[in-house]
Structure 1
Amino acid sequence: MRDTTDEEFRAYVAARRPALLRTAARIAGEDAEDLLQAALAETYLAWERIGSRAAVDGYVRRAMANTHISWWRRRRRLDVHPSGDVPERPVADDAPRCDLRDALGRALRRLPERQRTAVFLRYYEDRPEHEVAALLGVSVGTVKSTVSRAMARLRDDAVLGAARH
């Protein structure tokens, strides 16, 4: 029985790891690998208790969120309080990366809901077209054309935005 469970879990991790790692990166940044590993360890321990295999992604995401919150609380208690000392080296400026992420978020919000959902499932969740089609209740051809139109609109927005600056 345990061998079957181990094989199911290994197959799940092999199939979903890239998408889960992207989610972990959005949550924890450079600690994404550690966060995902901790969440997968928790999921492995609960594998037989998870009722539906369709619910596993949600379980892993919730485990990542809870683990990250715990880490944040633990670090916050250990934080050093500010002092009057100025660091010798300049602090890294993440503003350009944040600006790009904000611009992408704004561009995605301008898309119609169906296009936004298709792009999210296809590229952010890294799901194959047939899976996106099943989730949206449409044909694979509809997914392809919807994503194509969305990407064209995002490209147009990027070109127009660059022309304004």
Structure 2
Amino acid sequence: MSQESEDAAYAAFVEAAWHRHLRTATLITGDPHRAEELLQDCLVKLYLRWGRLSAGEPHAYLRQMLVNGNVSRWRRLRGEHLTGDLPESPQHRNDPLGDRFDDSDALRRALRTLPARARAVVVLRHVEDLSEKETAAVLGCSLGTVKSQNARAMVRLRAALRENEEVAR
């Protein structure tokens, strides 16, 4: 395959995959700006490997890159202490969640209450619709870890969403 045709295939992939993976990145990071930055970084890395990946599962590979990139960022920041309240993320007209969830802001706030790994499990299982086995493979953990993280995360999410609902009344 010529470089021009590989570039065209890559451009078509990015155009078709952008919103889907931006939604995933937004839910994993909890911040639309960080999500876009993460996705762009991962797409650059994907482009460098495109010749080897284009025939396989580039969506799965990109999803794995998003999760790993966010975990790496989280590990770097883990030692830092944030003070004060975190600013609320602004509403965007091109909200990657808008077409899927009625109250995306409440969901995004609830997801931000979860630890990074639990948030990744929920997003991969319930937004990306991966099986428990596929989620474990993406996260590099055991099936039991996915099950327990998901169960605990769903309890916390339900409580956070109920709390948001009560505050809104």
TM-score under structure 2 normalisation?
Answer: 0.48
Judging by fraction of residues, say which structure has more helix: 1
Higher relative contact order, chain-length normalized (CA < 8 Å, sep 6+): 2
